[in-house]
C-alpha cells in the first residue's frame, strides 16, 4: 500500500507539506497543492480522513441553517457560501430548517459535539443551547441576512432601513402620495427595518403615515397576490405599492394585471432583493439590489477566520445596496389624491 512518504518523494516536498495540503489546503500555494494532488493520484494514496480529522480536531465542515431553500435570494447566498468554503478547504452542510427551532437546535449540536466546526444562521435566532452561550466568548457562528441585535458573533447584514427609505423616496419623487406597503413576516427584523425606512421617507416628504396602507405578507408570491386583491378592494386605492421583497412584488403585479390594470400607468409596483426574475417581469421590476453571493462569501470568510482565531471581537459587516429603476414604476396617475 502507498503511503504519505511516497507522495512526498514524488511531489518533491516534505511529508509535512503533504499533510498540510490534505488537511489545510488554504495554507499551501496552488502550485504546490497541485503537485501534491497529482502525486496522490499517481501513487494511489488514500489518507485516512477520519484519522486526519481526529488529529487536527477539525472536520472542515460548516453548517448553514437556511429558513427555506425555495427562496431565490437565499439560493444565491448559499451559492456564495459554497464557493468561499471550497476555496478554503471547507464543505457546507446545508439544512433547510423551515424556521423550526428544534431542527436548528439539532444542527447546532453537531458543532457542540465536534461533528462540524461552525455554523451560519440566515435568520434571527440563536440555535445554541445555554451551555455554549458563555459571557464574553464569541459563538462559533456567523449571523447573516436576518440578524439579531444582541448576538455575540460576527454578523453580515444590509442597512435595510436606508434601502427602504430610498425606494419610498423614489416613489414619492414620481408624484405618489398614497403608497401601500406589503410587509414581510411579522416576526422578521427585516419587516420592522423596512417599515421604519418607509416611514422615514414619508416623514421627510411631509406625508402622513396611514396604517391602513400596510398589508401583511410573508415574502412569498401568494402573499403578494393576496395583498394585491385587498388593495384592489380599497375604494381610495393607492397609486403605488412597495413590496418588502421581489417575490411579493411579482405576485402583486400578477394580481393587478389579472384585474386589468396597466403597470405602471395605473399603479406602480416596487420590490426588494433584485432576484434574477425581477429583470424579466412584464414590466421589469424596480427593486433594491443586494449582493446576495457576497453575503454568503463574507459569512464563510468571517466564520473560518473566527475558527482559526483571527477574530477576537464580533464585527458587523454592512453590505451595500443599489436602487435599480426599471419599468414597473412611473409617474403617479393624473388626479391622484394627496
- Do 170 and 195 belong to one domain? yes
Taking only the tens place, the pLDDT of each residue in 207-254 is 999 999 999 999 999 999 999 999 999 999 999 999 999 999 999 999
Which pLDDT does position 88 carry in this prediction? 87
- Do 266 and 303 belong to one domain? no
pTM over 0.85, yes/no: no
- Do 102 and 181 belong to one domain? no
Mean pLDDT in the chain? 92
Which pLDDT does position 177 carry in this prediction? 97
Domain-located, residue 171: yes
Domain-located, residue 138: yes
- Would you say 243 and 224 are in contact if contact means Cβ atoms under 8 Å apart? yes
Q: What is the CA radius of gyration of the chain?
A: 25
- Do 193 and 280 belong to one domain? yes
Write the DSSP string, 183-249.
---TT-HHHHHHHHHHHHHHHHTTPPP-GGGEE---SSHHHHHHHHHHHHT-TT--SEEEESSHHHH
Which pLDDT does position 142 carry in this prediction? 97
Which pLDDT does position 56 carry in this prediction? 53
Which pLDDT does position 45 carry in this prediction? 83
- Would you say 191 and 248 are in contact if contact means Cβ atoms under 8 Å apart? no
- Do 171 and 266 belong to one domain? yes
Q: Work out the pLDDT band at 30, boundaries 50, 70, 90.
A: confident
What average pLDDT does the segment 132-155 reach? Answer: 89
Joined grid coordinates for residue 173: 419623487
291 pLDDT above the threshold of 70: yes
338 pLDDT above the threshold of 50: no
Domain-located, residue 16: yes
3-state secondary structure of 268: strand
Domain-located, residue 336: no
Backbone angles phi, psi at 231, to 5 degrees: -65, -40
Least confident of 31-40, 129-138, 156-165, 246-255: 129-138
We report the CATH number of the domain holding residue 280 as 3.40.50.2300
160 pLDDT above the threshold of 60: yes
Domain-located, residue 193: yes
Cell numbers 451551555 correspond to 131
- Do 27 and 142 belong to one domain? no
Joined grid coordinates for residue 266: 395605473
Joined grid coordinates for residue 320: 451595500
Give percent of the chain with pLDDT exceeding 90: 76
- Do 76 and 142 belong to one domain? yes
What average pLDDT does the segment 269-292 reach? Answer: 96
- Would you say 221 and 187 are in contact if contact means Cβ atoms under 8 Å apart? no
- Do 143 and 179 belong to one domain? no
What average pLDDT does the segment 55-74 reach? Answer: 87
- Do 124 and 242 belong to one domain? no
More confident residue, 26 or 196: 196
Domain-located, residue 179: yes
306 pLDDT above the threshold of 50: yes
| DSSP structural state of residue 278 | G
Containing domain of residue 115, as a range? 56-158+292-319
| DSSP structural state of residue 322 | E
What average pLDDT does the segment 267-281 reach? Answer: 96
Domain count of the fold of the chain: 3
Taking only the tens place, the pLDDT of each residue in 165-176 is 999 999 999 999
- Do 135 and 119 belong to one domain? yes
Q: Work out the pLDDT band at 336, boundaries 50, 70, 90.
A: low
What average pLDDT does the segment 122-129 reach? Answer: 94
- Do 180 and 262 belong to one domain? yes
Distance of CA 220 to the CA centre of its chain: 16
138 pLDDT above the threshold of 70: yes
- Do 92 and 9 belong to one domain? no
Question: How many angstroms separate the CA atoms of 267 and 282, rounded?
Answer: 14
Q: Work out the pLDDT band at 131, boundaries 50, 70, 90.
A: confident
What average pLDDT does the segment 36-49 reach? Answer: 80
In degrees to the nearest 10, what's the CA dihedral of 245, 314, 124, 71?
40
Domain-located, residue 166: yes
Question: How many angstroms separate the CA atoms of 234 and 257, rounded?
Answer: 16
Which pLDDT does position 128 carry in this prediction? 94
Taking only the tens place, the pLDDT of each residue in 246-264 is 999 999 999 999 999 999 9
88 CB neighbour count, 10 Å cutoff: 18
Joined grid coordinates for residue 196: 421604519
3-state secondary structure of 78: helix
106 pLDDT above the threshold of 50: yes
What average pLDDT does the segment 182-193 reach? Answer: 95
Domain-located, residue 338: no
Amino acid at each position: 500500500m502507498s503511503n504519505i512518504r511516497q507522495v512526498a518523494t514524488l511531489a518533491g516536498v516534505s511529508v509535512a507539506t503533504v499533510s498540510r495540503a490534505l488537511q489545510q489546503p488554504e495554507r499551501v500555494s496552488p502550485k504546490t497543492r497541485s503537485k501534491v494532488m497529482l502525486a496522490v493520484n499517481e501513487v494511489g494514496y488514500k489518507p485516512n480522513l477520519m484519522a486526519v480529522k481526529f488529529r487536527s480536531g477539525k472536520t472542515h465542515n460548516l453548517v448553514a441553517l437556511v429558513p427555506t431553500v425555495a427562496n431565490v435570494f437565499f439560493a444565491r447566498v448559499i451559492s456564495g457560501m459554497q464557493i468561499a468554503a471550497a476555496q478554503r478547504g471547507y464543505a457546507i452542510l446545508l439544512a433547510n430548517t423551515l424556521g423550526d427551532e428544534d431542527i436548528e437546535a439539532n444542527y447546532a449540536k453537531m458543532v457542540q459535539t465536534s461533528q462540524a466546526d461552525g455554523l451560519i444562521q440566515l435568520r434571527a435566532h440563536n440555535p445554541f443551547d445555554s451551555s455554549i452561550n458563555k459571557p464574553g466568548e464569541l459563538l462559533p457562528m456567523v449571523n447573516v441576512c436576518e440578524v439579531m441585535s444582541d448576538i455575540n458573533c460576527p454578523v453580515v447584514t444590509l442597512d435595510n432601513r436606508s434601502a427602504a427609505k430610498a425606494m419610498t423616496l423614489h416613489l414619492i419623487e414620481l408624484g405618489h402620495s398614497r403608497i401601500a406597503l406589503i410587509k414581510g413576516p411579522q416576526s422578521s427584523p427585516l419587516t420592522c427595518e423596512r417599515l421604519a425606512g418607509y416611514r422615514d421617507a414619508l416623514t421627510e416628504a411631509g406625508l402622513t403615515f396611514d396604517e391602513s396602507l400596510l398589508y401583511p405578507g410573508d415574502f412569498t408570491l401568494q402573499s403578494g397576490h393576496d395583498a394585491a386583491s385587498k388593495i384592489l378592494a380599497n375604494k381610495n386605492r393607492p397609486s403605488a405599492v412597495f413590496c418588502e421583497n421581489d417575490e411579493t412584488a411579482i405576485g402583486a403585479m400578477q394580481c393587478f394585471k389579472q384585474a386589468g390594470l396597466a403597470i405602471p400607468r395605473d399603479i406602480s409596483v416596487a420590490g426588494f432583493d433584485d432576484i434574477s426574475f425581477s429583470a424579466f417581469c412584464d414590466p421589469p421590476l424596480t427593486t433594491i439590489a443586494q449582493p446576495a453571493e457576497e453575503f454568503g462569501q463574507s459569512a464563510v470568510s468571517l466564520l473560518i477566520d473566527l475558527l482559526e482565531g483571527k477574530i477576537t471581537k464580533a464585527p458587523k459587516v454592512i453590505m451595500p445596496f443599489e436602487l435599480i429603476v426599471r419599468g414597473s414604476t412611473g409617474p403617479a396617475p393624473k388626479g391622484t389624491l394627496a
